[in-house]
Amino acid sequence: MSLDAAMPRTTAPAILPGSGGLRGTLSDLFWRRPQLLLLLMLLPPVLWLGIVYIGSLFALLLQSFFSIDEFSGLINREFTLKTYGDLFQAANLDIILRTVTMAALVTVASAIIAFPIAYYAARYARGRWKALFYLGVMLPLWSSYLVKIYAWKLILAKEGILTWLLAKLHLLWLLDGWLSLPIVGGNSLSVSFTGTFIVFVYVWLPFMILPVQAALERVPGNLVEASSDLGASPGQTFRNVLFPLALPGIVAGSIFTFSLTLGDYIIPQIIGTSRLFIGQAVYSQQGTAGNIPLAAAFTVVPIVIMGFYLWGAKRMGAFDAL
Amino acid sequence: MTSAVSFQKVSRHFGSVRAVDAVDLDIEPGEFFAMLGPSGSGKTTCLRLIAGFEQPTAGSISIFGERAEGVPPYRRNVNTVFQDYALFPHLNVLDNVAYGLMVKGVGKPERQKAAEEALSLVRLPGYGARRPGQLSGGQRQRVALARALVNQPKVLLLDEPLGALDLKLRENMQDELKSLQKALGITFVFVTHDQGEALSMADRVAVFNDGKIMQIGTPEDIYQRPRTRFVADFVGSSNVLPPDFVQRYSGQHRWGSLRPESIRVGRGAKGDGVAARLVSTNYLGATTRLALDADGLRLHAIVPAGTAVPEEGEAVVLTFNREHLHLMDEPA
């Protein structure tokens, strides 16, 4: 067969005519002026983010510089730092300290649990197993947050499945021993800080696994081989190669787990003690107590903490490998 | 004398794939040894078996007389220059080079001094503060080399180290690697699919195909006296001649090979030459490569530049010196 028969020579012109009409004109216009297209695409989200999102945050921030009249309960719209001073009262400082400690512990625990799972998914899982991994990690995110928390309340309750299981395994003494400890203990897991911690870790874990997995996915396998080839034991390879290269992912994940724990007010309300977390304090101050300035000041706390956290992470070189 | 690397009936199977199949191999200390073969021929798996990244399915491997099966890579005094260099992106050049000494617990001033010296050795002094991402391909190649050499390995493994470099750089690096190996006296084991590279650099070459070694010998052996059709064809694209053809010129019914540069292309009377037709000519600068058709047998000839070349399609007569016709072991 000749080439001509397979690919007949056409008589098409070198430059095709425009397709005409509004679409054709617009296409040509956008091709010639790509900035115009960019502007049109960005304008709605920038307006949304700028006015509705940042704007409302700014309005809230403004509220924190007002104060409340303790007798009338009315908001005094004059600039003052008195509300911020209130944050440093022992009771409020307790709330902040408790929340930050919980957020830090949840973040560290999530990172430790997430790393091996993410490592397996990034280095070994292929095809069907990888799909199963994503499904396993994401599935809990698809069901209602409240349903999951109430499910955990049942699991952790005194008459719950965990107590039953430990009793069957004759390990109840372990649970009782833990619950008799101060601070972390309580009547049952569902009314202790330990229970709050377990549920926090469960709920936020996917937000740690996915970025760590993405970071490890970008680490070429031969770097691990090169490290081993140069005489590094598996532990040294983890410390000197894998961990530094996964660090941006761990930091990204910890931004989620840390800030989500800082702001959450539902989990500690359903599972845990009666002592408040920042989210609950905000909720009760702006709701029942009607002290919007103090609620606003409380809201600023996580923002400031996250600011310092990111600054510290950057100084530690967490983003160097990006 | 003990071999630097010794394989006894070593096999490595991946499922039903025999990547390396009962290979016997002895590499002498201080030798520049090349493993040559097409992709998937098992040469890289052999290198990984020496490095310890793979374990043999059967057979035994020893490195300087010591059994190496079950020994992890980090306990072998063998270093590798990886195909795509595998430099650590989060460390600067100096820390990359000093990595092997760092994990062995050598103090900071001492290992940095050694790393500086290694960088000078590969002609990159003063590059220590840069990141691997800021270097060109050729420079990364040198850093990878320095990072391996600083550990003073007993055997240095190079996995297609010049594959990613452009032609000019590759030729320079070939010369440099060779003189470096001579100066240091370290055993180099070099994997390549480029026969020119293997022939020009190595003291001995092993030609791989389908997980087996087809032939081991000096570059001259391999090039002039290929034992099988595969070697003749793969190394320098020799003309492989069928037994019937060979019988007419040597009297023996065996497969033969004939180098393209041994064929003279002429016009005129047939005489005792081979009648052929010129199919196409490829101008290569220093030489011209001719594709010929001798009664259905495809042949190639290489003539020096400046030789008068017949027109394409013209009838020609091929002559060659009988002693250039090499008889192979391959059964007819």
The ipTM value here is 0.84
Looking at the structure, do residues B172 and B267 belong to the same domain, yes or no?
A: no
Tell me which of B84, B91, B103 to substitute to probe the interface with A (most A C-beta atoms closer than 10 Å): B103
- Tell me which of B232, B263, B287 is where a domain ends: B232
- B74/A240 Cβ within 8 A: no
Model pLDDT, residue A11:
77
Looking at the structure, do residues B145 and B243 belong to the same domain, yes or no?
A: no
Model pLDDT, residue A74:
81
Buried b (16+ CB within 10 A) or exposed e, B270-301: eeebbebebeebeeeeebbbbbbebeeeebbb
Instruction: Tell me how close the Cα of B17 comes to any Cα of chain A, in angstroms.
Output: 20
Which residues of chain A are within 8 Å of residue B100 when distances are taken between CB atoms? 230-231
Task: Report whether A272 contacts A187 (CB < 8 A).
Answer: no
State the residue for tokens 């009262």: A89
Instruction: Tell me how close the Cα of A236 comes to any Cα of chain B, in angstroms.
Output: 7
Model pLDDT, residue B189:
95
- Classify residue B74 by its DSSP letter: G
- Helix, strand or coil, per DSSP, at residue B298: strand
Which residues of chain A are within 8 Å of residue B53 when distances are taken between CB atoms? 225, 228-229
Closest partner residue to A230 among B53, B84, B99, by Cβ? B99
For chain B, what percent of residues have pLDDT higher than 90? 49
Beta bridge partners of B188: B32, B156
- Helix, strand or coil, per DSSP, at residue A181: coil
Whole-number Å distance between alpha carbons of B177 and B156: 11
B92-95 CB contacts, 8 Å cutoff, 24+ apart: B92/B128, B92/B129, B92/B130, B92/B131, B93/B119, B93/B124, B93/B127, B93/B128, B93/B129, B93/B130, B93/B131, B93/B132, B93/B135, B93/B143, B94/B119, B94/B128, B94/B129
Looking at the structure, do residues A100 and A71 belong to the same domain, yes or no?
A: no
CATH number of the structural domain spanning residue B317:
2.40.50.140
Whole-number Å distance between alpha carbons of A18 and A35: 21
B147 to chain A, any CB pair closer than 8 A? The answer is yes
Model pLDDT, residue A4:
62
Phi and psi at residue B61, to the nearest 5°: -120, 130
pLDDT (tens digit per residue) in B286-306: 889 999 998 888 899 998 887
- 10-residue block means of pLDDT along chain A (322 residues)? 64 80 87 91 90 87 86 82 88 93 96 94 88 88 89 91 91 89 86 94 94 91 93 94 90 91 92 90 84 89 90 77 54
Going through chain B in order, the beta strands assigned E by DSSP cover: 5-14, 17-27, 32-36, 58-63, 66-67, 78-81, 155-159, 187-192, 204-209, 212-217, 239-241, 256-258, 264-266, 274-283, 287-294, 297-304, 315-319, 326-327
Looking at the structure, do residues A144 and A190 belong to the same domain, yes or no?
A: yes
Element spanning A67, H or E? strand A67-68
Looking at the structure, do residues B90 and B201 belong to the same domain, yes or no?
A: yes
Which residues of chain B are within 8 Å of residue A232 when distances are taken between CB atoms? 74, 99, 103
CA dihedral A218, A221, A227, A233 (to 10 degrees): 110
Which chain A residue lies closest to B72 (C-alpha atoms)?
A228
Task: Report whether A312 contacts A133 (CB < 8 A).
Answer: no
Domain coverage including residue B226: 5-232
Looking at the structure, do residues A160 and A115 belong to the same domain, yes or no?
A: yes
Model pLDDT, residue A314:
83
| A21's tokens | 């009409």
Looking at the structure, do residues A303 and A244 belong to the same domain, yes or no?
A: yes
Looking at the structure, do residues A50 and A155 belong to the same domain, yes or no?
A: no
Instruction: Tell me how close the Cα of A259 comes to any Cα of chain B, in angstroms.
Output: 27
Model pLDDT, residue A67:
86
Closest partner residue to B100 among A223, A230, A244, by Cβ? A230
pLDDT (tens digit per residue) in B97-134: 999 999 999 999 999 999 999 999 888 888 999 999 99
Which residues of chain A are within 8 Å of residue B89 when distances are taken between CB atoms? 245, 321
Looking at the structure, do residues A48 and A183 belong to the same domain, yes or no?
A: no
CA separation, residue B19 to residues A228, B47, B208 (Å): 23, 12, 11
- A13, with CB counted inside 10 A (0-12, 13-18, 19+), is exposed
Looking at the structure, do residues A106 and A174 belong to the same domain, yes or no?
A: yes
| Helix-helix angle A243-263:A292-315, to 10 degrees | 180
Looking at the structure, do residues A44 and A165 belong to the same domain, yes or no?
A: no
| B252's tokens | 């023996």
Task: Report whether A157 contacts A190 (CB < 8 A).
Answer: yes
Residue B210: how many other CB atoms lie within 10 Å: 14
Which chain B residue lies closest to A238 (C-alpha atoms)?
B103
Which residues of chain A are within 8 Å of residue B90 when distances are taken between CB atoms? 244-245, 320-321
Domain coverage including residue A67: 21-76
- A232/B80 Cβ within 8 A: no
B33 to chain A, any CB pair closer than 8 A? The answer is no
Whole-number Å distance between alpha carbons of B232 and B240: 7
Model pLDDT, residue A313:
83
Instruction: Tell me how close the Cα of A124 comes to any Cα of chain B, in angstroms.
Output: 16
Query: Would you say residue B204 lies in a domain?
Result: yes
Model pLDDT, residue A188:
87
Rg over alpha carbons for chain B, rounded to the nearest Å, is 24
Whose CA is closest to B24, among B154, B212, B158, B209? B212
Query: Would you say residue B259 lies in a domain?
Result: yes
Instruction: Tell me how close the Cα of A225 comes to any Cα of chain B, in angstroms.
Output: 7
Closest partner residue to A320 among B72, B82, B90, by Cβ? B90
| A209's tokens | 């696994």
- A241/B103 Cβ within 8 A: no
Looking at the structure, do residues B313 and B254 belong to the same domain, yes or no?
A: yes
Closest partner residue to B90 among A225, A233, A321, by Cβ? A321
Model pLDDT, residue A184:
86
Tell me which of A223, A229, A233 to substitute to probe the interface with B (most B C-beta atoms closer than 10 Å): A229
Looking at the structure, do residues A126 and A191 belong to the same domain, yes or no?
A: yes
Whose CA is closest to B170, among B189, B147, B146, B192? B192
Q: Pairing relation of β-strands B58-63 and B5-14?
A: antiparallel
Instruction: Tell me how close the Cα of A255 comes to any Cα of chain B, in angstroms.
Output: 22
pLDDT (tens digit per residue) in B221-272: 898 888 988 998 888 778 888 888 888 888 788 888 888 888 888 876 666 7
CA separation, residue B175 to residues B29, B180, B182, B190, B200 (Å): 21, 9, 11, 14, 9
How many A×B Cβ pairs under 8 Å? 63
Task: Report whether A108 contacts A229 (CB < 8 A).
Answer: no
Whole-number Å distance between alpha carbons of B90 and A254: 21
Query: Would you say residue A203 lies in a domain?
Result: yes
Which residues of chain A are within 8 Å of residue B51 when distances are taken between CB atoms? 225, 229
Task: Report whether B203 contacts B32 (CB < 8 A).
Answer: yes
Whose CA is closest to B201, among B158, B230, B232? B158
Query: Would you say residue A15 lies in a domain?
Result: no
Task: Report whether B155 contacts B163 (CB < 8 A).
Answer: no
Q: What is the mean pLDDT of residues B20-47?
A: 93
Closest partner residue to B90 among A230, A231, A244, by Cβ? A244
Domains in chain A: how many in total? 2
Which residues of chain B are within 8 Å of residue A222 when distances are taken between CB atoms? 82, 84, 86
Whose CA is closest to B272, among B318, B325, B327? B318
Instruction: Tell me how close the Cα of B64 comes to any Cα of chain A, in angstroms.
Output: 17
Which residues of chain A are within 8 Å of residue B82 when distances are taken between CB atoms? 222, 225-226
B134 to chain A, any CB pair closer than 8 A? The answer is no
- Tell me which of B213, B232, B251 is where a domain ends: B232
CATH number of the structural domain spanning residue B170:
3.40.50.300
pTM for this prediction: 0.80
Looking at the structure, do residues A248 and A291 belong to the same domain, yes or no?
A: yes
Looking at the structure, do residues B286 and B307 belong to the same domain, yes or no?
A: yes
B228 to chain A, any CB pair closer than 8 A? The answer is no
Instruction: Tell me how close the Cα of A217 comes to any Cα of chain B, in angstroms.
Output: 15
Domains in chain B: how many in total? 2
Looking at the structure, do residues A141 and A205 belong to the same domain, yes or no?
A: yes
